[in-house]
Structure 1
Amino acid sequence: MPFEAFLNELKAAMKNVFHVRGDIDQMALKRGMPPFVMREIMNVNPLSVGIPVEYGGRGCKMEENISLLAAASYESLALSLTFGINSALFLQPVAKYANEESKKHVFDRFINNQNMGGLMITEPDFGSDALNMQSSFSENDGNYHIQGTKHWAGLTGWADFWLLTAREMSPEGKLKRDIDFFICDVNEPNQQIKVDEVYENLGLYQIPYGRNILDVQIPSSRRLIPETTGVKMMLDLLHRSRMQFPGMAMGFIHRLMDESIAHARDRQIGGRNLLSYDQVQQRLARLQAYFTITSAMCHNSSKVAGIENDLSLNGLEANSVKSVVTDMMQEAAQSATQLVGAQAYKINHIAGRGITDSRPFQIFEGSNDILYAQISEGLVKLMKKAKEFNLFNSLKSNSLTSNASERLKSILDFKIETSLPQRKMVELGQVVGRVVCMEQVLKLGAKGFNGQLIENAVKVLEQEIEMLMSGYHHTGQVNAIEVYNNESNWREFL
């Protein structure tokens, strides 16, 4: 089936369950999804986009996967994330790193039984510090015995398959440094995962999260096979997943933009519609800029993020894409809510709901603060290697930023200190991340994308970069005062 026809089938199914048979705004008030919703949507076999052709899928094409995520997020960010978890965090790693027997087993169940899968990395005491996870495995009679505790895995209690991560326990009782991945089938003996607690997550009501206790026996054939090390495999997986965030952001921002424009056109204030007010124009222009920037990211990821490519070393690009696009998601939701006003301050309004639904995107798969710092760390490492410490010269010589840096020379033409405090590393990363994204916008513009939208997006990015650079150059630094109780009650000074 041609992809457009496939996508139209999915859109028709979503329209039926979200707008005809049910009301998505009312569904948003309750946790989980009514059974008929997932049944009708999964009947279209949307997850086939993440499965190779030889196993009955659509070929694991990145442009199709990103288009699927965008189509879903226009209606429901939670549904899009559900697709993203299945595809980026389970099906794609299986397609790339599992053995033949495991691929057949997994993909057959997805195609014929509409199964779902997820990934468990995060632990209660080891979130961002995943390399020090305490979940362990040991080999015993052809099985791997995995023990540990995982939490905040999307689809907790729902998924039929899980990719479990653990470190090998040595005979001396010490955990080895590398990380391994295992396919757990909860429908097979000794592979059931105990859900110890289901969390009351603040947003994304339709996706269950919780704490899971691992004490499972996984057949040795279900261990993923890294090309070199497990850590490198994990980086490849996570960077590819981050490069697909624009797919989830695309439909979400597009919908907020459409809703905001429609509201501004129809809403009358003082005998004029909102569209005629300058501040409203500014908000709408930024939403359109976010739409354009996200479009550029989708275009770029479609070309470079396929499973045929090794993304383990693409940290600067992947971290830039994920952190900037998720910042834009949150800002878009905040702006749309502000524009609509009190009516949007409801869970059953897409703008208000969008604030809490998009907020965790800035946290999971790498907190944005950490990713921005890592962008700077990677850049400084490249600078030291090239012995070039002028920011403009360094970015000009990098294919990810070469054209965009030319437009920003007056802002970027200065030397970087290589021993920056962490807060400055974060600020610098915010700048570099947006330069990376501007490069993608310029490249999309060169392909013929709407020139007015491109120019507006570039102007918005230039403005953000100027503001961020102003903060970066500010030398004043404040630190938290641990003992602040003394002389800090205002009533004592009346």
Structure 2
Amino acid sequence: MEYSTHKYTLTSSSIHIDNENQLAAFIQRFKQALQEAFYEQADINQLSLQRGLPAAVWTRIMDEVPLSVAIPKEYGGRGSIVKECLALLSAASYESLPLSLTFGINIALFLEPVSKYADEQVKAPIFDRFLTQQCMGGLMITEPDYGSDALNMRTSYRQVDGHYHITGTKHWQGLTGQADFWLVTARGLLPNGELARDIDFFISDNSIPAQRIKVERLYNNLGLYMIPYGLNTIDIEVPAPQRLVAESTGIKMMLDVLHRSRMQFPGMGMGFIKRMLDEAISHCSQRMVGSSNLLALDSVQFQLSQIQSAYTICSAMCHRSSHISGITHNLAMEGIEANAMKALVTDLMQKSAQLCLQVSGANGYKISHIAGRGIVDSRPFQIFEGSNEMLYTQIAEMILKKMRKSKEANLFAFLSAYELTRDASVVFKDTLDFVPGEGLIQRKLVDLGKIISRVISANYVLAIANEGYRDDLVKGSIEHLRRDITHLVSNLYLDNRVKVIDDYIAGSDWLSFT
């Protein structure tokens, strides 16, 4: 019996090692394709100045079938394993953040929802085209008049003779005019002319005329040049099987999809932040000032240590996401974690790019420099899929609601018992030992949400430390989080209610006082 158990353990270990080796080989092939596409076939610094990518560059990248990571094994893919998806996104973002976002859109906003919610009869042909024809897909939610207010979207559908007729307008969808498939969200048109409260998802196939979505115009987006965005008019008919099947309600399905997407932002952040760190260290090591290099300056050490802290936090987020965000999990009710990951990692991406540019001097202030375009490309990450201010506000509101329900007014007392912050809260006990109170204005809710997101992230860092992650990086990251939390808590005590003055012109022209 003991021999049998021991033999099984060795076999399981061998399978695990084999899977790890296969993943490493897959990622290495993908990285090699990026090297050839961006540095041999073309110059990525020149590509960053033009819209889209040349067909030959796309073909070389897609020849490695990168999107196979998000396709189940039974359909010929690699299995929709979160760790593999994040590894692919990280490898892409090290070279090109727009490319990583392109894959992120395909994975989290199309392939994973189709894998989880689509009718079985429509999956096989879609996945086959992704694997063999280099197809891409995206998600249409946002409308010109509603933005983040998705629940009030006006795109509607009605069922007619075994198909759905969908009409409406969508905009700011990544891959506009480029995606072969779309997930289109709409609300049912009721007999009285009103729209149903719930939301449904439909698959459209642009290769079929009746399902083709019309691009009215493309936007001249700032940054992310590789990805087309624009305005779309929808007037399509899709067969009934192309409607996604929700486990309960369409709204919860949408939350599950969006929360899973937000939990994959660390994958896009991982390679990007690592690139900022590598570029900053390399430049500061080589740049001489007097008799020593820039690394000898204490302020430079502080700046680079902040990027290194972001690298550690993002690593911990990827570790956490790999365990909890697979399609077997329903994430509809996991808004706190999803919001915390998305908001904080995108703030860290922007900050890392700013710091890398700062130490790079004048050279960094070029759109062809990795830090210069990194600032522009990472900025919209703080806005799309929910602006960070909105997400931080939601985090604070959800935690305050939990505190009221548990009848606990003290923030530390609550966080020390809360699963997502239990271990890390002790580290910041002196700072967190206060009562937020009721009736916080929104700017204070944003600060409180930032505090909570950092404590949650510190919990992630301690968790990956327990798995053997290097101690010096953990200590440095915790110290930076302590500094951030202390600063944010001090903001809560400042009674700042300054508001904009609309009619500010009168009495404010400096020339009249000179």
> Deviations along 1:296-315, whole A, 9 cap, x unmatched?
00000001110100111100
Matched, 1:32 2:55: no
Match of 1:180 in 2: 200
Matched, 1:217 2:237: yes
Secondary structure of 1:79's counterpart equals: helix
Q: Aligned-pair distance for 1:476?
A: 2.8
Structure 1 CA distance for aligned equivalents of residues 57 and 252 of structure 2: 37
Secondary structure of 1:184's counterpart equals: strand
Letter in 1 for 2:110: F
Match of 1:18 in 2: 38
Alignment of 1:50-89 (within 5 A): 50-89=70-109
Letter in 1 for 2:371: A
Q: Aligned-pair distance for 1:100?
A: 0.4
Matched, 1:114 2:131: no
Alignment partner of 1:251 out of 252, 268, 271: 271
The alignment-based identity, stated in percent, is 53
Letter in 2 for 1:376: A
Matched, 1:318 2:299: no
Structure 1's unaligned 5+ residue stretches are: none
Alignment of 1:232-251 (within 5 A): 232-251=252-271
Match of 2:453 in 1: 433
Matched, 1:304 2:312: no
Letter in 1 for 2:55: P
Structure 2 CA distance for aligned equivalents of residues 105 and 146 of structure 1: 22
> Under a length normalisation based on structure 2, what TM-score does the superposition of the two structures give?
0.95
Letter in 2 for 1:417: G
Q: Aligned-pair distance for 1:271?
A: 2.5
Alignment partner of 1:344 out of 339, 347, 364: 364
> Deviations along 1:454-494, whole A, 9 cap, x unmatched?
00000001101111111111113211112212211111112
Secondary structure of 1:320's counterpart equals: helix
> Deviations along 1:366-396, whole A, 9 cap, x unmatched?
1000000000111011111111111111111
- More deviation, 18-27/456-465: 18-27
Q: Aligned-pair distance for 1:188?
A: 1.2
Match of 1:139 in 2: 159
> Deviations along 1:122-164, whole A, 9 cap, x unmatched?
0111111111011111111111111111011000000000000
Structure 2 CA distance for aligned equivalents of residues 370 and 40 of structure 1: 39
Secondary structure of 2:209's counterpart equals: coil
**2:205·2:211 contact (CA, 8 Å) conserved in 1?**
yes
Secondary structure of 1:472's counterpart equals: helix
Match of 1:128 in 2: 148
Match of 1:329 in 2: 349
Q: Aligned-pair distance for 1:66?
A: 0.4
**2:41·2:57 contact (CA, 8 Å) conserved in 1?**
no
Structure 2's unaligned 5+ residue stretches are: 1-18
Match of 1:459 in 2: 479
- More deviation, 409-418/81-90: 409-418
Letter in 1 for 2:153: M
> Deviations along 1:378-419, whole A, 9 cap, x unmatched?
101111111111111111111100111111111111112122
Match of 1:446 in 2: 466
Question: After TM superposition, where is structure 1 displaced by more than 6 Å over at least 4 residues in a row?
Answer: none
Q: Aligned-pair distance for 1:4?
A: 1.1
Letter in 2 for 1:173: G
Q: Aligned-pair distance for 1:20?
A: 1.6
**2:48·2:367 contact (CA, 8 Å) conserved in 1?**
yes
Q: Aligned-pair distance for 1:171?
A: 1.1
Structure 1 CA distance for aligned equivalents of residues 460 and 438 of structure 2: 27
Matched, 1:361 2:356: no
Structure 1 CA distance for aligned equivalents of residues 318 and 241 of structure 2: 35
**2:102·2:227 contact (CA, 8 Å) conserved in 1?**
yes
Match of 1:289 in 2: 309
Match of 2:296 in 1: 276
Structure 2 CA distance for aligned equivalents of residues 212 and 107 of structure 1: 25
Alignment partner of 2:490 out of 470, 473, 477: 470
> Under a length normalisation based on structure 1, what TM-score does the superposition of the two structures give?
0.99
Structure 2 CA distance for aligned equivalents of residues 294 and 372 of structure 1: 18
Q: Aligned-pair distance for 1:112?
A: 1.5
Letter in 2 for 1:133: M
Structure 1 CA distance for aligned equivalents of residues 503 and 368 of structure 2: 43
Letter in 1 for 2:82: M
**2:223·2:376 contact (CA, 8 Å) conserved in 1?**
yes
Match of 1:167 in 2: 187
Letter in 1 for 2:141: I
Letter in 2 for 1:269: V
Match of 1:206 in 2: 226
Q: Alignment length, in residue pairs?
A: 494
Alignment partner of 1:382 out of 385, 402, 418: 402
